[in-house]
Structures are given as structure tokens and as C-alpha cells.
Amino acid sequence: MADLTQDQWQEQLSNDADAVILDVRTDEELEEGFIPNAVHIDIYQGQEFINQVEALDKNKTYYVYCRSGNRSGQACAIMSQLGFTQTHNLLGGFNEWEGDVANH
């Protein structure tokens, strides 16, 4: 797992053909907006979170974020235990995100 600043995250993401953005926030937080093209799996779902993550392609590179960077760091640790080798945590999370934002 790598902790990346916003600039590093955006730069690596834009140059990564195998990139998947993963939003691990709650449904309520998702209503505040989200990073475009993000896959949403709420880390607070416990075993269901693990089940959904296990179904993802372990060969891809995951750019993971939450509201502040704490839960996404936990998600990256869980993903590492499940055999994912390329996970990147967004430091500061969505709170400090200055890039594009999408809404439902």
C-alpha cells in the first residue's frame, strides 16, 4: 500500500491503464458527491465489504478513498491481506479533494 498526496494520486491515476477508483464511504457520504467513475463499496458493511472486494480483479491497481483517509487506509490493509498488491490510499480523503466531483 502507498499513501499518496492528491497530486501524486491524480498523476498516477491518469497514467494507469489498470486503475480502479474505490470509494469506501457510506451511502450518506456518497450523497455529498464522489470522484467520477468510482466504484462504491462501504467499508462499514463488514463481511459484505470483504465479499465484494474479493470479487474484484486483483491484477488491477486500486486508488482508494474515504472522507479523511483513515478508512481507506484500513481498506488498503484488508485488500493486501486478500492478495491485492497494488493499492493506493488518498491522504486527506474526499474532504481535501480538489479534483472533479460527480453527483447522482
- Residues involved in catalysis: 66
Residue 39 contacts residue 21 (beta carbons within 8 Å): yes
| Dihedral of the alpha carbons of 64, 66, 70, 75, in degrees to the nearest 10 | -40
Beta-strand runs (E) in the chain: 2-4, 19-23, 39-40, 61-65, 87-90
Maximum CA extent, the chain: 32
